[in-house]
């Protein structure tokens, strides 16, 4: 693959970087810019979103025919990393989870009528969305075959009953995708349904208190007790719920990594700035070899992450599901984010533990990275499956068809 990026993407990256530096980063040090859950307050967000849209920096990942910027996955990797230099960045550009993944799966699998009804308002920033798959014990979590929420067919409708939890954004979302069981078939037992917040037959039981800052709308526990969904609101086909999930989560996992690389770079940036000016025992911290080793190692780990992400993005752009590439990127970058925030705090001393920098915010947020969209162990299990199937072919290069 060619690692050079097209000049128009570089120009876009620069515009995003300027917007983040000039408009978004100043909000991080203004307590009035935060909501009660550690995220950007809705009024500030709304004003910044209007500006971002006016500057053409909006929903860049969505196909152009669906109202977005039509970026390739490789171009997204460049732009998302730049957006998440700020903790508030992605949501300003309509590139934050869970809307990001929901828009991409609706663009990919929705019918024209479904796109008009369910996708277009999310792209326009008029509504938010949520993806409901995970269930509390004994339901489906890491293992989707354990999903118990059941959708029973009655005429031209499905009636859904069950429980979901950790559904990001649910309290603020209007458009939902819920994955429910429609049969006991091992491969074709799940189906994805679209529903609107205002439909009866479901409720939010609680917004689950968590250790980190929260996405808008929190992480919620939901109960379904007779939600009726017309058959026309099946996303993809009955029995294709696992495919919908894989289609959504594959890209969404990678876009998490793209954003987390931006946050990891920010941790290094804050640590480098402090160690360059802070002195102790007669010399600058930056002149100590032990500090240089820490920052040098992080710089390398970030570049390893970028290469894994770019390779996965390249494979997706070529039509592959890039399953093993995405699993490797997800494990590496989730752990990198955790490490980068930890080193950043350590090198900033007591300042790092304060809220004077975003490091403590990133540290608390980072812990979820090793769980969401597949725990590290599950991705390692998937990689080992590939290794068992492919043997030495696991590391085969893709060959160009020059002949
Ligand atoms: C902040 C946050 C936001 C989330 N948002 C959403 C959302 O919007 N929608 C949604 O549907 N879900 C969401 N989730 C749920 C998330 O996808 C699940 O937490 C994740 O898939 C793991 O499932 P689980 O929590 O049930 O863990 P479990 O399946 O109970 O597993 C517990 C632990 O066991 C270990 N483990 C599991 N399987 C294996 C294995 N095969 N080999 C070795 N060890 C293993 C892992 O360490 C794992 O962490 C969110 C979670 C968090 C924390």
Ligand 1, CB within 6 Å, residue ranges: 98, 131-134, 141-142, 166-168, 219, 368, 371-375, 377-378, 381
Assign residue 143 a region (left: φ > 0; alpha: ψ between -120 and 50; beta: otherwise). Answer: beta
pTM for the whole thing? 0.97
129: burial class by Cβ within 10 Å (0-12, 13-18, 19+)? buried
Determine, yes or no, domain membership for 2: no
- Same domain? 214 vs 285: no
Q: What CATH number corresponds to the domain at position 222?
A: 2.40.110.10
The predicted model gives 167-174 an average pLDDT of 98
Determine, yes or no, domain membership for 399: no
Residue pair 86/24 in contact (Cβ under 8 Å)? The answer is yes
Please determine, for residue 319, whether its predicted confidence score (pLDDT) is greater than 80: yes
Strand intervals (E) in 117-168: 129-132, 150-154, 157-168
Query: What is residue 318's predicted lDDT score, i.e. its pLDDT?
Result: 94
pLDDT range class, residue 271, cuts 50, 70, 90? very high
- Same domain? 249 vs 387: yes
Portion of the chain with pLDDT greater than 70, in percent: 100
CA 35 to chain centre: 20
Query: What is residue 402's predicted lDDT score, i.e. its pLDDT?
Result: 86
Portion of the chain with pLDDT greater than 90, in percent: 98
Determine, yes or no, domain membership for 259: yes
Query: What is residue 162's predicted lDDT score, i.e. its pLDDT?
Result: 98
How many domains would you assign to the chain? 3
Q: Give the closest residue (by CA) to ligand 1 atom 43.
A: 377
User: Which DSSP helix (H) or strand (E) runs through 377?
Assistant: helix 376-390
What are the tens digits of pLDDT across the range 195-232? 999 999 999 999 999 999 999 999 999 999 999 999 99
Among 209, 238, 267, residue at a domain's last position = 238
pLDDT range class, residue 186, cuts 50, 70, 90? confident
- Same domain? 141 vs 213: yes
Q: Give the closest residue (by CA) to ligand 1 atom 31.
A: 142
- Same domain? 172 vs 249: no
Please determine, for residue 401, whether its predicted confidence score (pLDDT) is greater than 90: no
Determine, yes or no, domain membership for 268: yes
Distance 375 CA to ligand 1 centre (A): 6
Please determine, for residue 253, whether its predicted confidence score (pLDDT) is greater than 90: yes
Determine, yes or no, domain membership for 166: yes
Residue pair 287/321 in contact (Cβ under 8 Å)? The answer is no
Which among 271, 266, 273 has a CA at the least distance from the CA of 302? 266
- Same domain? 94 vs 173: no
* Tally of helices (H runs) and strands (E runs) in the chain: 14, 10
- Same domain? 366 vs 303: yes
Helical axes 359-366 vs 323-347, angle rounded to 10°: 140
- Same domain? 249 vs 382: yes
| Sign of the alpha-carbon torsion through 71, 75, 81, 85 | negative
Spell 220-230 as b/e; 16+ CB within 10 A means b. Answer: bbbbbeebebe
- Residue 374 CA: which ligand 1 atom is closest? 21
Average pLDDT, the chain: 97
Which among 168, 360, 341 has a CA at the least distance from the CA of 260? 341
Separation CA 392–CA 386 (nearest Å): 10
Determine, yes or no, domain membership for 145: yes
Q: Give the closest residue (by CA) to ligand 1 atom 32.
A: 142
What are the tens digits of pLDDT across the range 73-100? 999 999 999 999 999 999 999 999 999 9
Among 238, 260, 283, residue at a domain's last position = 238
What are the tens digits of pLDDT across the range 107-130? 999 999 999 999 999 999 999 999
Determine, yes or no, domain membership for 333: yes
- Same domain? 210 vs 103: no
Domain of residue 45: give its range.
Answer: 7-123
Which among 316, 193, 185 has a CA at the least distance from the CA of 258? 316
Separation CA 209–CA 221 (nearest Å): 11
Residue pair 167/153 in contact (Cβ under 8 Å)? The answer is no
Distance 156 CA to ligand 1 centre (A): 33
Please determine, for residue 365, whether its predicted confidence score (pLDDT) is greater than 80: yes
What are the tens digits of pLDDT across the range 39-71? 999 999 999 999 999 999 999 999 999 999 999
Separation CA 279–CA 95 (nearest Å): 40
**Other C-beta atoms lying within 10 Å of the C-beta of residue 261:** 26
- Same domain? 148 vs 114: no
- Same domain? 26 vs 73: yes
Ligand 1 pocket test, pick from 212, 371, 373, 382 with the greatest ligand atom count within 8 Å of Cβ, gives 371
Query: What is residue 30's predicted lDDT score, i.e. its pLDDT?
Result: 97
Please determine, for residue 309, whether its predicted confidence score (pLDDT) is greater than 80: yes
> Rounded to whole angstroms, what are the CA distances from 104 to 2, 72, 95, 108, 301?
25, 12, 10, 6, 28
- Same domain? 261 vs 371: yes
- Same domain? 100 vs 118: yes
> Rounded to whole angstroms, what are the CA distances from 23 to 88, 249, 383?
11, 31, 41
Which among 149, 146, 168 has a CA at the least distance from the CA of 221? 168
pLDDT range class, residue 403, cuts 50, 70, 90? confident
Q: What CATH number corresponds to the domain at position 319?
A: 1.20.140.10
Q: What CATH number corresponds to the domain at position 116?
A: 1.10.540.10
Among 98, 123, 148, residue at a domain's last position = 123
Query: What is residue 238's predicted lDDT score, i.e. its pLDDT?
Result: 98
pLDDT range class, residue 252, cuts 50, 70, 90? very high
């Amino acid at each position: 693959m060619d690692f050079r990026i097209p000049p128009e993407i570089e120009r876009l990256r620069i515009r995003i970087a300027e917007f983040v530096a000039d408009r978004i980063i100043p909000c991080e040090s203004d307590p009035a810019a935060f909501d009660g859950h550690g995220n950007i307050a809705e009024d500030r967000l709304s004003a910044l979103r209007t500006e971002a849209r006016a500057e053409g920096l909006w929903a860049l990942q969505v196909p152009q025919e669906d109202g977005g910027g039509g970026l390739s996955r490789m171009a997204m990797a460049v732009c998302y990393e730049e957006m998440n230099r700020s903790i508030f960045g992605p949501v300003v550009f309509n590139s934050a989870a869970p809307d990001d993944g929901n828009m991409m799966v609706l663009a990919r699998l929705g019918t024209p009528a479904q796109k008009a009804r369910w996708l277009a308002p999310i792209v326009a920033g008029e509504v938010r969305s949520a993806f409901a798959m995970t269930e509390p014990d004994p339901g489906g979590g890491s293992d989707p075959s354990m999903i118990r929420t059941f959708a029973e067919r009655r005429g031209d409708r499905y009636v859904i009953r069950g429980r979901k939890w950790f559904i990001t954004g649910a309290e603020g979302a209007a458009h939902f995708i819920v994955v429910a069981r429609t049969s006991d078939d091992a491969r074709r037992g799940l189906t994805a349904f679209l529903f609107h917040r205002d439909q009866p037959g479901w409720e939010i039981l609680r917004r689950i208190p968590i250790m980190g800052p929260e996405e808008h709308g929190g992480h919620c526990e939901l109960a379904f007790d007779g939600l009726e969904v017309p058959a026309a609101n099946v996303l993809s086909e009955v029995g294709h719920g696992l495919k919908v999930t894989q289609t959504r989560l594959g890209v969404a996992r990678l876009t998490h990594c793209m954003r987390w690389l931006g946050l990891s770079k920010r941790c290094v940036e804050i640590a480098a700035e402090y160690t360059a000016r802070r002195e102790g025992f007669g010399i600058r911290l930056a002149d100590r070899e032990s500090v240089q080793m820490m920052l040098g190692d992080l710089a390398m780990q970030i570049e390893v992450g970028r290469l894994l992400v770019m390779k996965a993005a390249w494979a997706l752009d070529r039509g592959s599901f890039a399953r093993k590439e995405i699993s490797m990127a997800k494990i590496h970058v989730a752990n990198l984010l955790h490490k980068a925030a930890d080193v950043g705090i350590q090198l900033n001393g007591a300042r790092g533990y304060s809220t004077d920098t975003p490091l403590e915010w990133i540290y608390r947020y980072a812990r979820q990275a090793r769980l969401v969209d597949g725990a590290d162990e599950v991705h390692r299990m998937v990689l080992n499956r590939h290794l068992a199937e492919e043997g030495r072919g696991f590391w085969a290069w893709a060959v160009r068809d020059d002949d």
